[in-house]
Amino acid sequence: MSTATTSEAKELAPVSAESLAELLVTGERPPRPSALSASLTFGWRAMLKIKHVPEQLFDVTAFPIMMVLMYTYLFGGALAGSPKEYIQFLLPGILVMSVVMITMYTGVSVNTDIEKGVFDRFRSLPIWRPSTMVGYLLGDAVRYTLASAVMLTVGIILGYRPDGGVVGVVTGIALLVVFSFAFSWIWTMFGLLLRTEKSVMGVSMMVIFPLTFLSNVFVDPKTMPGWLQAFVNNSPITHLSSAVRELMAGDWPADEIAWSLGWAGVLMLVFGPITMRLYNRK
């Protein structure tokens, strides 16, 4: 590092005081950007980061593929007679599970930015306060869509046939992405609250594993003991995966869609303000 620094420093072109002075004088101050424009700009930043560090797409490509393959062949024979039959039931559920799991990386990226030092720069700007957070989530929405597309492709190769056609599939994914956007506010909160990346990961796992596994993603809850059914049947993940499953099967499960969107609204109304409070207090 130090050798590179010295040699580069020597080659570094001098600062031009005149052109600098000119810039400072002519610098007009444009009106502040709108909330939407600031949020989209932060979303653009998330896209740039994907461009520069494409490895970060590993969790939305390789991980979901692994999930589909693993659970289809692990449980397929036992639960539904064959993997091919099981995937009809499993794919929408595993899609929900994987994408909801991927949301936890939001907390990690918030936390990393705080440590790297770019965060306070954003906080010192005269912009709509939540736009930084919304920007992360917009970028993540793109990742969720990508993960969904990848899993759907693998599912179709393995024999999944959605009766809902393109409309059903697209509506299902849209519902999933909207829910995940709202759900991610939990992670922005933890990203701001916890001090290290590792602790963010740790806490995320504690929340996400029970929440996604204790649902109707893998099996029908009717086989579970009563107390567990009570939890599973009321879990937002169960509502969401039922909604996505039925949408993709060509039905219109109004109740389950309403439940999913309702949960999304509640999550955002609770964790959005907590996140912003922490953001302002940091």
State in angstroms the smallest separation of the CB of 5 from other proteins: 4
Residue whose structure tokens are 């091919």 = 84
For 107, other C-beta atoms within 10 Å of its C-beta total 26
Cα separation of 70 and 79, whole Å?
14
Q: Where are the alpha helices (DSSP H) in 184-253?
A: 185-193, 197-213, 226-234, 236-248
- Find the distance separating the first CA and the last CA of the chain, reported in whole Å: 32
Q: Among residues 195, 198, 277, 282, which is the contact residue for other proteins, using CB under 8 A?
A: 282
Q: Which stretch binds other proteins (CB under 8 A): 7-15, 138-146, 192-200, 220-228?
A: 7-15
Of 55, 78, 117, 166, which one interacts with other proteins (CB under 8 A)?
A: 117
Q: Name the minimum Å distance from CB 277 to other proteins.
A: 12
- Which amino acid is residue 255, in one-letter code? D
- The angle that helices 131-158 and 254-281 make with each other, rounded to 10 degrees, is 140
What's the closest the beta carbon of residue 195 comes to other proteins, in angstroms?
A: 14
Picking from 82, 250, 275, the residue whose alpha carbon sits closest to that of residue 164 is 250
User: To the nearest whole angstrom, how small is the minimum distance from the Cβ of residue 141 to other proteins?
Assistant: 19
In angstroms, what is the minimal distance from the CB of 29 to other proteins? 5
Determine the length of the chain.
Answer: 282
Cα 97 from Cα 210, distance rounded (Å):
11
Using CB under 8 A, count the residues that bind other proteins. 49
Between CA 117 and CA 129 the distance in angstroms is: 18
* Helix or strand holding residue 221 (H, E): none
Stretch that binds other proteins, among 111-119, 187-195, 209-217, 229-237 (CB under 8 A): 111-119
**Which runs of E-coded beta strand occur in 66-166?**
none
Closer residue to other proteins, CB minimum distance, 6 or 223: 6
Burial label for 265, CB within 10 Å (0-12, 13-18, 19+), is exposed
Instruction: State which of positions 50-69 bind other proteins (CB under 8 A).
Output: 52-53
Residue 47 contacts other proteins per CB under 8 A: no
State the burial class of residue 142 (Cβ atoms within 10 Å of its Cβ: 0-12, 13-18, 19+): middle
Q: How far is the CB of 39 from other proteins (least distance, A)?
A: 10
Binding mask 125-164 for other proteins (x = CB under 8 A): xxx-------------------------------------
Return the number of the residue (222 or 281) whose C-beta is nearest other proteins: 281
Q: Does 13 bind other proteins (CB under 8 A)?
A: yes
Residue 14 is a binding residue for other proteins (CB under 8 A): yes
Least Å from the CB of residue 129 to other proteins: 9
Q: Is 25 one of the binding residues for other proteins (CB under 8 A)?
A: yes
Handedness of CA 246, 250, 255, 257 (dihedral sign): positive
Which residues bind to other proteins, rule: CB under 8 A?
4-6, 8-10, 12-17, 19-21, 23-25, 27, 29-33, 37-38, 41-42, 44-45, 48-49, 52-53, 113, 116-127, 281-282
